[in-house]
Amino acid sequence: MNQLPVDLLFEIVDYLNPKERQRFAETNLCHRYLFPLPLILKITSKSSGSALQERFFVSSRNDPQTMLLDHEELIFEQDYLFWAFDYERGNRVYLSRHGQKLLNTEYTQYMFTMGLRPKHPTQFVRIKGGEAGTKVGLEDSIGLDIGGTSNIKHTPDSKDRMYLSSQALTMGALWYAIQQKWGNYEKLQLYKCQNYHAQKHCTATTITNNHKHHQHHQHHGQPQDDRATPLIIHAIPDICDGLCSLYSPKSLKDGRAACELHHINIKFHFWVLGGLLCFKANMSSVPFAFGVPMLEEDKAGGIKDPTVDCLKVLLKKNSSRWWAVKHYMSVAASIQSGNVIKIEDFMRTVKDHEDHTIIRDDSKNLVYIQVQDAVVENGIADHPKNENEVWEFMFCGS
């Protein structure tokens, strides 16, 4: 290995995860010199007596693939990515706003819970509390200001920037983003991890969705062990409509359909046949499937993905057919919670447009919408039903 050109060594290391990189660097003095320790941080809050359980690597927004090294300084008012590594799936996961809750205030205000989002960063962390361009003092009080690049307001990825806050609860603490001012709950501290094995400062952690028990060591005023808050690795929803999210099997490979707030998930099968989008909740207590047609007026002929892209068309049009899909999922959620709803009740309540006729086909256990004087779009490719493809629909509440 010592005979390999340095350029080749750097190419090899680029394919290694953080643990493998550290093991490689420790094989000899030359490698230790070429691949020094990265900067690894813990985010803590003295006001709540809590810390986020994860250890975070840091990259500059302008160079997202490169980890900052242990000897490098953080700078006030610069944008960074705070990320951990999901060893279960083999990719980076980024500290981000995720769960959304509309608060009952005099004006529209949303609170976002925090989570880890996979692969592609859509939000950035800006360090506040000091003069722009000056070095950040670790373990001093700072603010972490988080925002994205989307122009769509009141969404996790919106440009509206908010401080990361931490508030003590009876059990543990809540980490969230809502404030645009730096108050007591927003005063945080960053602690440097000395090495990957966390002998002094940090948790030796492997990030999984189950967040098994990790052992902490209190040091220099760090929070109590039992107040460390784990973050969920979230799948990115294919469709997000307020407090409703839809996840394809592909998106669920990268994380969980979950929310830190109260929520309910409906697993279902989804297929497309002859221009009809069909949904079947994956539970025996909902014995019927539901279908909505794509119409020529939707201009969806030749669409690449006959599943997600068709639903995006209906959402963008604010179509009553999309509302009907959400209604079917809400009925399934109600049944899943123990309520009894007959198919006749569903047929009566799902009609939300005077041009809609609700058809029941007992031979297929199917209820579907027929739109008066409309032509079904036949240019959409079929997507056969696959029992191994499980989708999820999530309602996230308080």
For 311-321, what is each residue's pLDDT tens digit?
999 999 999 99
Spell out the domain ranges in the chain. 38-229, 239-396
Residue-level pLDDT at 20: 78
Is there a contact between 386 and 269 (Cβ–Cβ < 8 Å)? yes
Place of tokens 């919408």: 369
The 8-class DSSP code of residue 376 comes to B
pLDDT at 211 over 80: no
* Better-predicted residue by pLDDT, 109 or 78: 78
Is there a contact between 162 and 180 (Cβ–Cβ < 8 Å)? yes
* Residue (of 117, 32, 46, 129) closest to 82 by Cα position: 117
Q: pLDDT tier at 3 (50, 70, 90 boundaries)? A: low
How far apart are the C-alpha atoms of 192 and 70, rounded to whole Å? 8
- Percentage, residues of the chain above pLDDT 70: 86
Region 150-175: mean pLDDT is 89
Region 136-156: mean pLDDT is 90
pLDDT at 99 over 80: no
Place of tokens 């205030």: 105
Q: Global pTM? A: 0.78
- Of 19-28, 269-278, 360-369, the poorest mean pLDDT is in 19-28
How far apart are the C-alpha atoms of 138 and 247, rounded to whole Å? 39
Query: What is the 3-state composition of the chain as percent helix, strand, coil, each rounded to the nearest 5?
Result: 15, 35, 50
pLDDT digits (tens, 9 = 90+) for 268-299: 999 999 999 999 999 999 999 999 999 999 98
pLDDT at 206 over 70: no
* Better-predicted residue by pLDDT, 282 or 21: 282
Residue-level pLDDT at 227: 59
How far apart are the C-alpha atoms of 147 and 157, rounded to whole Å? 7
pLDDT at 349 over 70: yes
Residue-level pLDDT at 155: 83
How far apart are the C-alpha atoms of 55 and 220, rounded to whole Å? 17
* Residue (of 398, 269, 387, 382) closest to 329 by Cα position: 269
Q: pLDDT tier at 81 (50, 70, 90 boundaries)? A: very high
Residue-level pLDDT at 4: 65
pLDDT at 331 over 90: yes
Report the mean per-residue pLDDT for the chain. Answer: 85
Q: Which helix (H) or strand (E) holds 346?
A: helix 343-349
- Core vs surface per residue 366-385: b (16+ CB within 10 A) or e: bbbbebeeeeebeebeebee
